[in-house]
Amino acid sequence: MAEILQKVIDEARQGEAYTTLPFEAERNTKKFYIESYGCQMNFSDSEIVASILQGVGFGATGNFEDADLVLLNTCSIREKAEQTVRNRLQTFRKVKDGKPGMLIGMLGCMAERLKAKLLEEEKLVDIVVGPDAYRSLPALIEEAQTGQKMVNVLLSRDETYADIAPVRLDSNGVSAFVSIMRGCNNMCTFCVVPFTRGRERSRDAESIIKECTDLFNAGFREVTLLGQNVDSYEYAGITFAQLLEGVAAISPLLRIRFSTSHPKDITDDVLYTMAKYDNICKYIHLPVQSGNTRILQLMNRTYTREWYINKVKRIREIMPDCGLSTDVIAGFCTETEEEHQDTLSVMELCRYDMAYMFAYSERPGTLAEKRYADDIPEKTKKRRLEEIIALQRKHSTESYGNDIGKVVDVLVEGESKRSADDWCGRNSQNKMVVFPKSNFNPVKGQYVKVKITQSTGATLIGEIIR
Ligand code: SAH
Ligand code: SF4
Ligand code: F3S
């Protein structure tokens, strides 16, 4: 089996399309289908799960009707995320009814949050596995094949899956996610993640650099280092800034991104390291959540409005061309109209290029659920959210509009999803750039210079400069 696994890894590292399924050709192998929800960590975890399953002879299929094992890697961050997964299960119910023996497994944060309760609530689920228990999947599947319902939701203090080479699912062969830490020790009161992902732990730096080097050798040209709070990375005295430097040194042709930064933890060291290396992308995702200090305190974000604004100033001092995006929550417990206005005004000051914006969704078991009443009416939350979205739309349009006339470096990812006549890729600031093919045939992963001629609020449109 080790040999087969090696073959998979080797093929994976040659930059093959991972939807070409190495096991499909082999007889008598079972097939798994996996769908991921939620954050990039979950998508990255699914690649680890795929690796574990292929190691025991399961081949991936892109069609759930063909699968012997259907896995949903789930998210609990907002109620809607959980509802989406529950609705999705109904689709699988029909297939399972006509296919006895097909197993359905729930992975990820919903599995961790609901544990065995999920088996009671969703009768068609056979296996429930939390984010730190994926190594036990083969054993659980074997037991489940005898008709047993199986659960493993043990959280770990040291699991990082450092030794498992992820099988790149749905990869464009250019850009990959590399998980550098797991869990979260910040107790933001609204957030379910510390309960579903457990304690924070950092992955062995050497294994991270090796994975990135292997990706580069396989033709990948961009890695995104992932963690809930990358700035608190620490392994054997190595800080996040040092890790960044180590990955940046692999090759000037390898772009590095990272996510997510916590405003309280991102250091000048990190900012200077970013500034020093051209291949570390000038882009920071810096979730603000609220622009009001009292609300930030209730959220246990541990910074104030002024601290946050100063952080953004610092970023712009050190890297004037740095792209900036954020997360915002509308209608947190007890938020007044004035406090909501503070969120709008912090957006005016920071001028984000992009934002993820949410209405507060109370999550069972969180500190906010225990401490405060979810007292902002849904209608008010929705209206505040709409105001936030409208303002961000204006800022995005301005930000993208300001790029017209600039020449930007684009890493070509492939054909534009919207038009077969265009190529697409991102600039350093993480903005999507689309440009006509016009007889130019770049290899995937090639860098090109593009002059921006038009923009929307979410895409730059330009022409290649030869
Ligand atoms: N670790 C990252 C983000 C994790 S979750 C960080 O600390 O920034 C991604 C985003 O979901 C959060 O930044 C927050 O804006 C949003 N979110 C988390 N819990 C939420 C809740 N209960 N209701 C609404 N939005 C929430
Ligand atoms: Fe959740 Fe806060 Fe941790 Fe982010 S930093 S995952 S918002 S607890
Ligand atoms: Fe969702 Fe879990 Fe990520 S709750 S956002 S999948 S860490």
Binding site membership of 358 for ligand 1 (Cβ less than 6 Å): yes
Judging by DSSP bridges, how do beta strands 407-415 and 201-202 pair with one another?
A: unpaired
Architecture of domain 308-402: 2-Layer Sandwich (3.30)
**173 C-alpha to ligand 3 centroid (Å):** 25
- The atom number, within ligand 2, closest to the CA of 192 reads 1
Q: What is the mean pLDDT of the chain?
A: 93
CATH for 24-152? Answer: 3.40.50.12160
- Fold for domain 171-281? Transcription Regulator spoIIAA (3.30.750)
Amino acid in the structure at residue 94: K
**33 C-alpha to ligand 1 centroid (Å):** 28
Which residue's CA is the nearest one to ligand 1's atom 2? 228
pLDDT (0 to 100) of residue 15: 35
pLDDT (0 to 100) of residue 182: 98
pLDDT (0 to 100) of residue 5: 29
The number of residues making up the chain comes to: 466
Burial 203-215 (b: 16+ CB within 10 A, else e): bebebbbebbeeb
Check if 171-281 and 308-402 are the same fold: yes
Pairwise CA distance, residues 311 & 286, whole Å: 10
Residue spans per domain, the chain = 24-152, 171-281, 308-402, 407-465
Binding site membership of 38 for ligand 3 (Cβ less than 6 Å): yes
pLDDT (0 to 100) of residue 23: 41
Ligand 2 pocket residues where CB is under 6 Å: 184, 186, 188, 191, 193-194, 228-229, 262
**402 C-alpha to ligand 3 centroid (Å):** 34
pLDDT (0 to 100) of residue 29: 83
**258 C-alpha to ligand 2 centroid (Å):** 16
**180 C-alpha to ligand 2 centroid (Å):** 16
Binding site membership of 287 for ligand 1 (Cβ less than 6 Å): yes
Which residue's CA is the nearest one to ligand 1's atom 14? 327
Binding site membership of 363 for ligand 1 (Cβ less than 6 Å): yes
CATH for 407-465? Answer: 2.40.50.140
Pairwise CA distance, residues 315 & 317, whole Å: 6
**231 C-alpha to ligand 2 centroid (Å):** 12
Structure tokens at 446: 């090639």
Which residue's CA is the nearest one to ligand 3's atom 7? 193
pLDDT, one tens digit per residue, over 49-83 is 999 999 999 999 999 999 999 999 999 999 999 99
Count the neighbouring beta carbons within 10 Å of the beta carbon of residue 225: 22
Predicted structure pTM score: 0.93
pLDDT, one tens digit per residue, over 373-430 is 999 999 999 999 999 999 999 999 999 999 999 999 999 999 999 999 999 999 999 9
Return all residues near 416 (Cβ < 8 A) that are at least 6 apart. 422, 423, 424, 434
